Amino acid sequence: MSASSREGPSVGTKATAAELKAAKAPVDPPADRFRRHVLKALETLHGRGLDRPEALRALFPRTILPEATYEDLIASLVSGAHVLFFGPSGAGKTSLAKDLWDLFPKGVWVVDGCPVLDHPLALVDAAVAARFPPCPICRRRFAPSGDLASFDPTIVDPARVPAIFVQLREGFGFARVQGSSEVFPDHLTGNINLRKLEEVGDPMSPLVLEPGKLLQANRGFLLVDEIGKLPLGTQNVLLQALQEGTVTPSKSRESFPASFVAVATSNLSDLDNINDPLSDRLTSLHVGFNDRHADNRRIVELGRDRPGDVYLPEILVDAGVRVVEAWRLRMSEDNPDVGEVGSNRTLIDVAERTGAIAVLGGRKVATSADLKAGLLHAMRGRIRARSGDSFRQNAKRVEEFLGEYVEPALRRSAGVYWCRFYRGNLKESAPDAEALVGEGRRLKDDAALVGGLARDGAGFPRFRAFASYIAERERPDPPTAPTDAAVQVFRLLEEFSLFSCKEEDRDDAPL
């Protein structure tokens, strides 16, 4: 569900503060607006028949996470908290933060022409102004004779304050900060606009300030990626905004509003770099790798959102996921040199590299050899190269690991695939299974027979039913014919499952 649905009037609708006051337009902080929006979205999803776990997942259509993570996150948002996602690299922290921005309600009334999106009622209502102080630019604009010191919301004519309904967007209600040692306080607060300085002439005037990231996020959403990489001075500027909802730029005499929902991310190795006062303002949520095999498979499906040039049988995709899962179980997730090897990005890379290797080999259908090479390319490519020696040592670890776990993964995936077909379609009929195996063995090495089967569909009734099952389940992209796909799947089953169905061949059983 894309919960960034537009609420209220259409974008571009104009009014005045007087009209908003008469209509009793709400004035609330971003966290409250987010809370109401999330609860309303959940209510709508429940109304469509989704249970609680399904509804929570539907709020985040592009992110696959453990159920407990969704529960913790929604509870934090409903409580009005700022959040910090921490966990291993590649677990989906940034993707989840982006999903939150998509979920965030974006329609708001603002003062027409205000660079930081002041609420119109903050200029005409003393109580609102006390909670949400308007920016010095708007205060000067509506003060008697433009004298900032004489601004008084009780004497501003509401009919003179123009309002417009807008959709928050990048730079206006949404800002993203990429953590780095080179992100200085001015990057968050703002810098002097030289053109405006020429017009105004006073370098300390708020009119010459080009809003920084915190001011750009006012009344909306701030994403800080890798917050632990920010210098301490920059973290202190962010802390002021979270504590007070305002920011005082170093080259300004006045404070600017900076009220937003903050979502930050951090890898495990950077957590100690976040200063304690700032950390105390954030609710920490661990975002780890998925334990459920089906969730990891879904990550690959979402990541491979373009048609492929080659058909990857489901058995190969599934086996690639199982190998990465086995790596996660046996390797430390906080080792910075190999932490990315088991990431969600690697899950997707394995499938992409397998397909690429098949294309380079002139094959329309990927083989188990392509998977082995694809795993090596993808996992080795995620090693952090600190030095030649360390890279070679870690590459050897990956190679040794693959030598031990690729074959078992292929056997497990082939076994699960065959069991699903044997139990679901063949109804555990041993004679039908034997007949299918006999037909498949006649076809697998005879291109003429396969071509004839594809052209006229005559003969081999059980194999044709098997090909239809694969076409419906896997939907191989053209130009791969369903019969060609079925032949390759049959080869994989013959090599790795031996057409046996054991009790331990469960989809979610670890290697």
Please count the CA atoms within 13 angstroms of the CA of 261 that sit on its side-chain side.
25
Task: Please report which confidence band the pLDDT of residue 306 belongs to, taking 50, 70 and 90 as the band edges.
Answer: low
Q: Is the pLDDT confidence value at 507 over 90?
A: no
The average pLDDT across 478-507 equals: 83
Q: How far apart are CA 11 and CA 495, in angstroms?
A: 60
Residue 338 has a pLDDT of: 87
Question: Which of 333, 281, 322, 295 is CA-nearest to residue 412?
Answer: 322
| Sole residue written with tokens 């020696």 | 389
CA–CA separation, 457 and 434 (whole Å): 21
- pLDDT-derived band at 506 (thresholds 50, 70, 90) equals low
Residues near 129 by Cβ (< 8 Å), separated by ≥ 6?
122, 123, 153
CA-atom Rg of the chain in angstroms: 29
SS3 134: coil
Q: Under a CB-based contact definition with an 8 Å cutoff, are residues 188 and 246 in contact?
A: no
Name the pLDDT band for 200 (thresholds 50, 70, 90): low
Burial (CB count <10 Å: 0-12, 13-18, 19+), residue 315: buried
Q: How far apart are CA 492 and CA 410, in angstroms?
A: 8
CA distances from 91 to 103, 263, 284, 406 (A): 20, 16, 15, 22
Least confident of 336-345, 448-457, 501-510: 501-510
Among 386, 356, 360, residue whose Cα is nearest residue 371: 356
Considering Cα of 49, then 50, then 55, then 60, what sign does the dihedral take?
negative
DSSP state of 339: G
Can you give the pLDDT at residue 262?
97
- Residue 254 CB partners (closer than 8 Å, separation 6+): 136, 148, 206, 248
Give the angle subtended at the CA of 372 by the CAs of 369 and 375, to the nearest 5°.
145
pLDDT in tens, 438-489: 999 999 888 888 877 777 767 889 999 999 999 999 988 767 788 888 999 9
Q: Are 251 and 215 in contact (CB under 8 A)?
A: no
Close Cβ partners of 68 (under 8 Å, ≥ 6 residues apart): none
Provide the residue type at 394 as one letter. Answer: N
pLDDT tens for 392-421 read 999 999 999 999 999 999 999 999 999 999
Check whether 2 has a pLDDT greater than 50: no
Query: 46-60, 123-137, 163-177, 237-251: which range is least confident on average?
Result: 237-251
What domains, with CATH codes, occur in the chain? 14-285 (3.40.50.300), 293-496 (no CATH)
pLDDT band at 253 (very low <50, low <70, confident <90, very high): confident
What average pLDDT does the chain have?
89
Phi, psi of 115 (to 5 degrees): -70, -20
Which of 341, 321, 371, 337 is CA-nearest to residue 91?
341
C-alpha 83: how far from its chain's center? Answer: 15
With beta carbons less than 8 A apart as the criterion, state whether 238 and 263 touch.
no
Question: What residues contact 478, with CB distance under 8 A and at least 6 apart?
Answer: none
Count how many residues are written for the chain. 511
Alpha-carbon distance of 419 to 136, in angstroms, equals 70
How many Å apart are CA 501 and CA 511, to the nearest integer? 17
pLDDT at 205: 57
SS3 71: helix
pTM for this prediction: 0.86
Average pLDDT over residues 102-113: 96
CA distance 162 to 153: 15
- What pLDDT was estimated at residue 232? 95
Q: What is the spatial distance between Cα 295 and Cα 301, in angstroms, rounded to a whole number? A: 10
